[in-house]
Amino acid sequence: DTAVSQTPKYLVTQMGNDKSIKCEQNLGHDTMYWYKQDSKKFLKIMFSYNNKELIINETVPNRFSPKSPDKAHLNLHINSLELGDSAVYFCASSQARGSGELFFGEGSRLTVL
């Protein structure tokens, strides 16, 4: 009965590959997010969707493409992986847009070799 679940938890891949991370929330929330946390623990927002509509798109390379098939799911696809993409990616949800109370998943650690 995990509130925000993301898979896989660990990803190890070669440069140039394409990978996806999936996220699902069972909280009935309208808004979902992807955050990137680097090796220094710095958390930065990448994307946010509200009811399947993209509302935040930070200056992220267009190799990153989010997809929200419904408001309970927000997936992240990354093309042509680079070394600098190595990080922990967190999915989160909130009841409504603009809410400060985010519910985070456990993270997906991506390592690009």
Partner 1 sequence: GESVGLHLPTLSVQEGDNSIINCAYSNSASDYFIWYKQESGKGPQFIIDIRSNMDKRQGQRVTVLLNKTVKHLSLQIAATQPGDSAVYFCAEAYFGNEKLTFGTGTRLTIIP
The verdict on 100 binding partner 1 (CB under 8 A) reads yes
Q: Which of residues 84 and 98 has its CB atom nearest to partner 1 in the complex?
A: 98
Number of residues that bind partner 1 (CB under 8 A): 23
Beta bridge partners of 24: 5, 73
Report in angstroms how near the CB of residue 85 gets to partner 1 at its nearest.
19
Give the dihedral sign, CA 12/17/21/22. negative
The verdict on 74 binding partner 1 (CB under 8 A) reads no
**Residue from 30, 52, 56, 86 that binds partner 1 (CB under 8 A)?**
56
3-class secondary structure, 84: helix
